[in-house]
Structure 1
Amino acid sequence: MSESVGDQWGEYLRVGRRMSEHTVDAYLGDLRALLDYLGIGWDAPAGEFAHALTQRRIRSWLADTLVHGGARSTIARHTAAVRNFTAWAVREEILPSDPAAALSGPRADQRLPTPLDESDARTLINLAKSEALTGGPSQMRAWAILELTYACGLRVSEVCALDVSSLNREALTVRVLGKGNKERVVPYGPPAEDALDHWLVRGRPQLAGETSGSALFLGDRGGRIDPRVVRSMVHRMAAKAGVHDIAPHGLRHSTATHLLQGGADLRAVQEMLGHASLVTTQRYTHVDTARLSAIYQRAHPRA
């Protein structure tokens, strides 16, 4: 049986565009949502795509997503996914013309999640540590993930993609494969070192099995951990610690904020977080107005 049109596109995204598995899954999910809305099965023949995919129907799907509470960032990704798909489908002669070429999605909301302050970050991670020292492999894994994510400002997809060999345990650095398959090396400190040593020596061996491969962080069944498991864990630990609800990406924002508050150079933070543009990193500078005001009061002769 030949591959479905959607599966062919997914293979193109992985091999031709070299997108991360996280992005491919998101784009394929967007296409499934569109096809469900249009009443097209995933395994439908190419002819059905040409008949059903019109600009009017695609716009209707986007509008319906917005009406049902879709965030601007979700609509923007939906638009990017469908434009990518239809452009590919035209090149593959699945579609006679591109119905999404003229679509423009809304600009993604640039507001940042509220970062943890330093004391709350310490409270969160100390709770994870205390549970790890008396608990099982799941608790050891939670401590190691929280320490490493906060130490290095990693994306959840990057955390889950790490291999044991990604760590240089002598130099205390981790080699990260980020967006666009761009590699960077990020340092971490002794607290993350302790958590990782605890996980590698005591926690990971308890979960490791035939499906583990070289993955650094394992799920409860022994395979590479899923981002959804990590997200759920971070939300759960934040609630137990009594700090405001935060996702892994919020923990990454906390890292950037605390680095800048500590006087780190903006370009160093850009390199550490793997931002392609300094403009992206500059979004964090607005969160430290209190520090800026204090410097102004001390330094300016007319303050």
Structure 2
Amino acid sequence: MSRKRLDVSWKREVQTEDFKPALKRYTRYLEESGLRESTISSYVVRVGKFLEFARTDEPDADDFAAFQETLHEKRLSRSSINNYCFAIQRYYEMRGKAVSFKFIRPANTIPYFFDENDIARIFSACTNLKHLAMLQTLFYGCLRASELCNLDDCDLDLQALTLRVEGKGGKEAIVYITDDCAKTLRRYLEVRPPLVIDGRKPLFYTDFGKRWERRGVYRMFMYYKKRAGIEKKGGVHVFSRHSVGSLLVKRGCDIVTVKELMRHSDVHTTMRYMHISDATRREKYEQFLRL
């Protein structure tokens, strides 16, 4: 007598919660590797998306290759794809396995930046003294958002108009600020009560008594950018890094000085800012090529 197979699917749906133990182990692994908190957070999110795609916390090399294809199909930026791959490579490394990927060389150009008028409009749109102090410190100090969040009171020297910052790879550096920025910071410090968090006195903290995080700085900047009526692409990094470098080059600053002010380890990184307009090139041509 033949038996009829039940028309039932016993396939188990994989839930995001199933990957929490693996992601917790991965987080500890990254912490023990000495990576920055912001990098760890970014890597964990990316690996979480990969595990959801692979539907297992023990993916193989084919899963990685298939996921890479989806990243390209989504037309993500080169740097985003590279960061996904670096994060996933670390996950395999944690599991004692090795996978490789072809690093995609980022385009060595700056696709967009804010000009002088854009910057002035953003500052003018800012009616909050603390936010204005943060935006001016970001811009004039050529800071990354993470560097701003990590500043303490002791890092600021209003007499010398300098800031001590901890940049990429834990490298310390002294950066400059302008008189206007210092005036805003003095007004801000007169109003702001000092606060100790984890034994440190942060220069900037939220109204809830916590250190600022990069996401919060990004949202704050985007609010004032929208309020200023600026529709150009770009977030905090474009504002305080790409725009500063572009403006320095546009105004005739030599590339070596730009490199030092931007704290680039390689001058080829600084060369991305050599996209000055034809009108500016003509002006410099007329200025310097005269007999």
TM (norm. structure 1) is 0.80
Q: 1:20 aligns with which of 33, 36, 48?
A: 36
CA offsets 1:104-163 (integer angstroms, 9 cap, x no match)? 1423344424222212212221332xx1xxxxxxx1221011111110111111111111
Q: Distance in 2 between matches of 1:290 and 1:170?
A: 38
Residues 1:83 and 1:276: Cα distance change in structure 2 (over 3 Å): same
- Report the counterpart of residue 135 of structure 1 in structure 2: none
Q: 2:204 aligns with which of 198, 207, 217?
A: 217
Report the more deviating stretch, 54-63 or 256-265.
256-265
1:142 aligns with 2:142: no
- 3-state SS of paired residue (1:295): helix
- 3-state SS of paired residue (1:286): coil
CA offsets 1:53-86 (integer angstroms, 9 cap, x no match)? 2111111112223334433221111112222332
Question: How does 1:222-261 map onto structure 2 within 5 Å?
Answer: 222-245=209-232, 246-251=234-239, 252-261=241-250
Q: Distance in 1 between matches of 2:106 and 2:250?
A: 26
Asked whether the 8 Å contact 2:249–2:276 carries over to 1, the reply is no
Percent identity of equivalent pairs: 25
Q: Which amino acid aligns with 2:210?
A: G
Q: Which amino acid aligns with 2:246?
A: T
Asked whether the 8 Å contact 1:217–1:225 carries over to 2, the reply is yes
Alpha-carbon distance, 1:192 to partner: 0.9
Alpha-carbon distance, 1:172 to partner: 0.9
Alpha-carbon distance, 1:179 to partner: 0.8
Q: 2:179 aligns with which of 190, 208, 213?
A: 190
- Report the counterpart of residue 27 of structure 2 in structure 1: 10
Asked whether the 8 Å contact 1:211–1:223 carries over to 2, the reply is no
Q: Which amino acid aligns with 1:20?
A: R
CA offsets 1:7-59 (integer angstroms, 9 cap, x no match)? 4443443443x33221121112111111222223xxxxxxx52xxx2111111
Asked whether the 8 Å contact 1:14–1:24 carries over to 2, the reply is yes
Q: Please, what is the CA RMSD of the aligned residues? A: 2.5
Asked whether the 8 Å contact 1:234–1:247 carries over to 2, the reply is yes
**Moved beyond 4 Å, runs of 4+:** 208-213
1:125 aligns with 2:123: yes
Question: How does 1:67-216 map onto structure 2 within 5 Å?
Answer: 67-87=73-93, 89=94, 94-95=95-96, 97-98=97-98, 100-101=99-100, 103-128=101-126, 131=127, 139-202=128-191, 204-205=192-193, 208=195, 213-216=200-203
Q: Distance in 2 between matches of 1:33 and 1:144?
A: 36
Q: Structure 2 unaligned runs (5+)?
A: 1-19
- 3-state SS of paired residue (1:150): helix
1:30 aligns with 2:46: yes
Alpha-carbon distance, 1:224 to partner: 0.3
CA offsets 1:212-242 (integer angstroms, 9 cap, x no match)? 9422211231100111111111111112112
Q: Structure 1 unaligned runs (5+)?
A: 41-47, 132-138
More helix by share: 1
Alpha-carbon distance, 1:275 to partner: 1.4
Residues 1:238 and 1:270: Cα distance change in structure 2 (over 3 Å): same
Structure number with larger C-alpha Rg: 2
Asked whether the 8 Å contact 2:246–2:275 carries over to 1, the reply is no
- 3-state SS of paired residue (1:175): strand
- 3-state SS of paired residue (1:185): strand
Asked whether the 8 Å contact 1:174–1:186 carries over to 2, the reply is yes
Asked whether the 8 Å contact 2:163–2:176 carries over to 1, the reply is yes
1:282 aligns with 2:271: yes
Alpha-carbon distance, 1:276 to partner: 1.6
- 3-state SS of paired residue (1:205): coil
Q: Which amino acid aligns with 2:55?
A: G
- 3-state SS of paired residue (2:276): helix
Q: Distance in 1 between matches of 2:236 and 2:66?
A: 33
